[in-house]
Structure formats: C-alpha cells, structure tokens
C-alpha cells in the first residue's frame, strides 16, 4: 500500500479527498449554527440601518440589504434555502445568498463589522431568547405545583430525612418546597439575562472600528440595554452562555430530584402517587408493569446538561484574548442543553399536573416509624418544663418500648408512659396524632395547613 493510501485509510470512507476535506469538515459550523439564522438576519438588518443613519452606506443600498435579508429569512423559514458547508457558517451562507439576490450592494453590509462581533451578537440574541423561554417555562411549572399544593393543603404524608420517616408533613407543604426551588431557578435566569444584555455589535474583530458608527443605535434596535464597553471583552466573552448552562444545570438538578421522588412514590412499595398513562410505558414481557419512563428520562437529562456546562468551561479556561477558533465549539453545547431543559420543563409540568396523590398510603406511611416522636419531646418540654435533652432521652425510651411491643407511640397506655416518666398525663395523646402534629407546626414556613395556605396565596398573587 502506498503512503498516500495509508494516509487516506486513517480518514476512512468518510471523506472523498485528503486534508482539504478534513479541514472543511472540522472548520464548518453551518450544520448547527444555522439555528441562529433569525438572529443573524435581525442583527444584520439593525447594522445596515445604522450604517445608513450614520452616512456610511447609501439609503438605496441600505434598503436593498434590508429587503434582501427578509427574503433570505423567508427562504430559510420555508425550507427552500440551501445551506453550504463550503461557506462554513450561517453568516457567510446568508451573505452569499444576499449577494445573489441584490448584487454588489450586499458587499457593503459587512462594513465596520467582523464575524467575531457578529457571532457574539447572534449567539447572545439566541441565548437571551432561551433565557426568556426558560423563565416562562419555570413560571408555568411553578403554577402547576401551586395547584397541586392547593388541592392537598391538609393531606398528611411522611416527611423524610435519609429516606427514613422523620416527621409528618402535608402534601401541600411538600409541593410548595418545589415552588421555592423553581423560584430560585427562575431568578438565576432573570439575573443572568440582565447581566448579559450588552451588545457586542460594533466591536468588530477585536479593536473596534475607524468608521463613525453608532453602537447605541444598534444596541437599542436589538433590545440590548447598552453596547459593551470593551471591544476585546465583547468578542471573547462567553460568560452569558456559561451562566445559561450553569442556571440550566441547577434547574435540571431540581427537576431530577422531583423525578426521583416520582419514581419512588409511584412504585408498588410506596403507592404515594399515580402517574397518568400519558407519561408511563408498559413492559414488552411483563403485562403488569407501568413504568415511569418519563420521570427516569428527566432524571437522566441533568447529566447531559451538566456535561454541556463542563465542556464549555473546559473550552474557555485557557483562551487568551480575544477570539480563538476554539470558541466555535460553544454553540452545540448550549443548543443541546437548551433543548433538553425546555423539554424537561414541559414534561415535568405535564406529569405533575396529571399525577394523583393517594391519601391512604400517604397517611399510613406518615403514621409509621414513630413520626410523632419529636412532638412528644416538644410536649414534655412545654407541659412538664423538662430540658429538651432530658425530653429527648425520655422519648427515646418510649420509642424503644413501643418498638419492642410492635406498636406505635399513641398505642402505648398512659401507665406504660408513666413507667418511664411519672409526670406524663393523658394530655400527651393530643400531640401524638399526625393531624395534630402537622397542625402544630405554625412557625413561618412550617407545614401547618395555615402556613401552607398563606404561602399558596403569596405565590398565586406573584404568579398572575
């Protein structure tokens, strides 16, 4: 075999030519950055209008460019546009088509601009749109959880630590915990959106431009708060993408935690909830199975989103200012994570809206595992003025007695209790029921139905 054939064998049958084909394949980004076509054309139209306003290009050329770009956008949206790998990216594909439509005037569009500030602008516009979508999706998901909470304000269920029954709580309280988590997720996207809303357009390749452009005009036209203040930073910054991925990763973690609870709660061993058939699958061999596949897939999505964050952090960690070709690898990570996040938000909204809590198994579990032991200890402190550490010891002894007899605390007789602590009276039974237990947790943010109702009202008003 000749050296040439040996070399080609390294590339396999994927390429019809040698290094030139390899270079085209690794260099081109049109396979994925065509996703930013609308943003690219929006930015170009704003840039062209500014060039006209500043007297840099003529009115006629500006009008031709603006109309031509709308034609290109229409072709892309209708699926008639033919993307070319040889033209590398969305920017050159659009400009090439614009040139065929309007002729030499298209060549004036790139005056006072570089692909460096162009791609930074396109990408920012796209990510900003995804942040807005995430904020909206989170708001809708929060409303779904509030609805579940309102339907089960006083429904008793077990609260867990270490996945062991700890104390009784209410269904409403548990659902509202996710509202608080999702609210923090939403606030992260809101904060990140404010921070990233500066326009890179006009920074050019890295040093700005000698043309008398108006960067404030293009920033305003594109919905940015202001132009970026440093041209080097403007073209090399990808913090906005990192913050999107970071916020998405934390949000996906919360989604995964709820998904894990749904997997556990819907099992035959728990039977806490029934997941609708719309979000379940069957088994090809076991006819009795109803698998929570949607929840399991939600649980897995966080790994994919986290991976995108780590990938982009790794890409950016060693890059000197300003632009390096490494940064072309930023978009696929963000595109994939955004798709995964939005699908996860929609799927969880559907699952939570459809799921049905089962009150009897929830109550039975809440009454197990000596879940009112803390209530007993608190009663000893309040009623008998006992130091809490002594109360903890007495309660532990009573739990041991009940455990040895195979009964719960409220099933012990008064005589049994007095054999451990003589001062106990029959008033103790008032705190040993799970309903009394949850009703007593009246501290702000507690599980008492009165507190849960107040939190529901607060969030219903905030989410209108």
Tell me the C-alpha distance between 260 and 255, whole Å. 9
Encoding tokens for residue 426? 């029959």
Catalytic residue (one of 2, 16, 78, 162): 162
Paired sense of beta strands 156-161 and 198-199, if any: unpaired
Nearest C-alpha neighbor of 117 from the set 236, 229, 34, 21 = 236
Stated length of the chain: 464
Give the helix ranges, DSSP H, for 288-413: 293-316, 330-354, 359-366, 373-384, 388-405
162 is catalytic: yes
Sequence-separated (6 or more) residues with CB below 8 Å from residue 7: 18
Cβ(189)–Cβ(397) below 8 Å: no
DSSP state of 96: H
Closest CA to 173 of 192, 155, 194: 155
Q: In whole angstroms, give the CA distance from residue 152 to residue 156.
A: 8
**In a 3-state reduction of DSSP, which class is residue 160?**
strand
Q: Spot the catalytic one: 283, 324, 368, 450.
A: 283
In the residue annotation, 84 being an active-site residue is answered as no
Is residue 29 classed as helix, strand or coil in its secondary structure?
Answer: coil
Long-range contacts, 444-453 (Cβ 8 Å, 24+): 446/173, 447/159, 447/168, 447/169, 447/170, 447/173, 449/153, 449/154, 449/170, 449/172, 451/173, 452/149, 452/153, 452/170, 452/172, 452/173, 452/176, 453/153, 453/172
Residues designated catalytic: 162, 283
């Amino acid at each position: 075999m000749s050296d040439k054939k040996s070399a080609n064998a390294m590339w396999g049958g994927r390429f019809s030519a040698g290094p030139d084909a390899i270079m085209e394949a690794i260099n081109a980004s049109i396979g994925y950055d065509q996703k930013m076509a609308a943003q690219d054309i929006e930015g170009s139209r704003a840039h062209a209008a500014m060039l006209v306003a500043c007297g840099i290009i003529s009115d006629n050329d500006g009008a031709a460019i603006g109309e031509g770009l709308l034609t290109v956008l229409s072709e892309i949206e209708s699926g008639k546009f033919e993307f070319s790998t040889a033209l590398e990216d969305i920017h050159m594909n659009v400009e090439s088509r614009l040139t065929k439509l309007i002729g030499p005037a298209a060549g004036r569009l790139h005056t006072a601009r570089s692909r460096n500030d162009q791609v930074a602008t396109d990408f920012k516009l796209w990510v900003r749109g995804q942040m807005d979508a995430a904020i909206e999706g989170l708001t809708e998901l929060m409303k779904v959880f509030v609805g579940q909470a309102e339907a089960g304000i006083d429904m008793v269920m077990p609260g867990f630590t270490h996945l062991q029954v700890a104390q009784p709580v209410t269904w409403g309280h548990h659902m509202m915990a996710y509202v608080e988590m999702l609210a923090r997720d939403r606030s992260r996207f809101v904060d990140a959106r404010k921070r990233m809303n500066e326009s890179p357009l006009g920074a050019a390749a890295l040093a700005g431009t000698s043309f008398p452009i108006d960067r404030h005009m293009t920033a305003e036209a594109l919905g940015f708060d202001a132009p970026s203040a440093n041209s080097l930073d403007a073209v090399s910054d990808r913090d906005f993408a990192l913050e999107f991925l970071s916020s998405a990763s934390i949000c996906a973690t919360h989604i995964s935690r709820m998904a894990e609870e749904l997997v556990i709660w819907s099992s035959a061993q728990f039977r806490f909830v029934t997941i609708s058939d719309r979000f379940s699958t069957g088994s090809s061999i076991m006819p009795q199975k109803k698998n929570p596949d949607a929840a399991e897939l939600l649980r897995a999505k966080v790994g994919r989103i986290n991976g995108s964050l780590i990938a982009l952090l790794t890409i950016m960690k060693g890059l000197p200012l300003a632009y390096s070709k490494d940064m072309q690898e930023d978009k696929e990570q963000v595109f994939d994570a955004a798709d995964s996040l939005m699908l996860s938000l929609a799927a969880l909204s559907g699952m939570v809206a459809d799921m049905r809590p089962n009150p009897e198994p929830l109550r039975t579990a809440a009454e197990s595992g000596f879940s009112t032991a803390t209530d007993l200890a608190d009663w000893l402190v309040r009623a008998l003025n006992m130091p809490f550490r002594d109360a903890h010891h007495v309660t532990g002894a009573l739990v041991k007695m009940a455990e040895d007899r195979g009964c719960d605390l409220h099933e012990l007789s008064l005589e049994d209790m007095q054999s451990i602590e003589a001062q106990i009276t029959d008033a103790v039974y008032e705190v040993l029921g799970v309903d009394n237990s949850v009703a007593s947790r009246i501290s702000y943010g507690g599980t008492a139905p009165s507190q849960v109702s107040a939190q529901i009202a607060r969030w219903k008003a905030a989410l209108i």
